[in-house]
Amino acid sequence: MAQTAYQLVSGQGEVRDYFALLKPRVMSLVVFTGFAGLAVAPGDLHPVLAAVAVLCIAVASGAAGAINMWYDRDIDAVMERTRHRPIPTGKVEPSEALAFGVILASGAIMLMFLATNAVAAGLLAAAVLFYVFVYTIWLKRRTTQNIVIGGAAGAFPPAIGWAAVTGDVGIEAAILFLLIFFWTPPHFWALALYRKGDYAAAGVPMLPVVHGARETKRQMLLYTVFLVPLSLAPCFFGFAGWPIYGAAAAALSLIFLALAIAVWRDESDRSAKRMFGYSIFYLFGLFAILIADNALMTTV
């Protein structure tokens, strides 16, 4: 029986290989939304402690990614999108990746507790555990709703940032959580539409593989429709203003909706690729404008 690369090559990982285990591109968006939650939360947190809190979110996110790569090393070796990751290529041993992730996650959670409070540390621990055990181990290979339920893990960072400042989780933090929760399915399913062959080869029951492109597009459109009014919720609950954030959020969300409609109508993968690319810009833009709006509101 043919052996995969990670079984044949001993781990000789360099610093960049261990950094790659942290999924830095995913981490960057996670860190930014965590910073946004911290920036718009009422109250003051010493700049050094705020920087430590953001660092903890980044490290814990990366640690969860490393553990995910350890568990998914078999399917990562099959999929074109992931076959060049450090474990499938044999640059890092699976056991080393697991130990690396567990140590980083534990350290980040303990440091968050020492630097901020128990609520923020508890939410950080919940995000890591949810991503590893609920999404990676339980849902990903069992249900088409894997990314819907499991996507909650990626929605924790702004709530963690908020809790780091306030010591609690209010309606505002819940709204920021829901923004990412409803954004995740159309974002990830857009990718899954034009990568469905990869998922099929790996035996991962993504929605386009099991129920087809039409049902996937329908659900993408449905989640995007819900996301449009939800993106304006910060204005309704008073932690963002209408002239700046409200107008910008409405414009960004309507473009997102237009792209979802285009995906529904398009039989090719062109619109799905366009929507996936925009979805990253959309979330970044939404939270960037929220930060800017909050900064202007507090200086007026």
Residue 77, phi then psi, degrees to nearest 5: -70, -20
Among candidate residues 264, 160, 285, the one with its CA nearest the CA of residue 220:
264
CB 5 within 8 A of CB 90: yes
| 232 and 245 belong to one structural domain | yes
Same domain, 208 and 284: yes
Q: What is the pLDDT of residue 300?
A: 58
5 and 130 both lie in a single domain:
yes
Length of the chain in terms of residues written = 300
Say how many C-beta atoms besides its own lie within 10 A of residue 235's C-beta.
19
| pLDDT at res. 266 | 95
103 and 233 together in one domain:
no
DSSP string computed for 80-147: TTTTTSTTTTTSS-HHHHHHHHHHHHHHHHHHHHHHS-HHHHHHHHHHHHIIIIIIIIIITTT-TTHH
Domain span at residue 242 reads 170-300
Same domain membership, residue 294 and residue 201: yes
Answer for the pair 88, 60: CB distance below 8 angstroms, yes or no.
Answer: no
How high is the pLDDT of residue 5?
40
What is the per-residue pLDDT for 12?
Answer: 62
pLDDT per residue rounded down to tens, the chain (300 residues): 334 444 434 456 799 999 999 999 889 999 999 999 999 999 999 999 999 999 999 999 999 999 999 999 999 999 999 999 999 999 999 999 999 999 999 999 999 999 999 999 999 999 999 999 999 999 999 999 999 998 899 999 999 999 999 999 999 999 999 999 999 999 999 999 999 999 999 999 999 999 999 999 999 999 999 999 999 999 999 999 999 999 999 999 999 999 999 999 999 999 999 999 999 999 999 999 999 999 998 775
Residues 68 and 127 in one domain: yes
Shared-domain flag, residues 176 and 247: yes
221 and 112 within one domain: no
Q: State pTM to two decimals.
A: 0.93
d(CA 259, CA 261): 5
Q: Does 282 lie in the same domain as 190?
A: yes
| Domain end among 119, 146, 169 | 169
Whether residue 4 is found in the same domain as residue 152: yes
Q: Which of 136, 169, 202 is the last residue of a domain?
A: 169
CATH number of the structural domain spanning residue 29: 1.10.357.140
Same domain, 30 and 132: yes
Same domain, 68 and 89: yes
How many domains does the chain fold into?
Answer: 2
Of 169, 194, 219, the last residue of a domain is 169
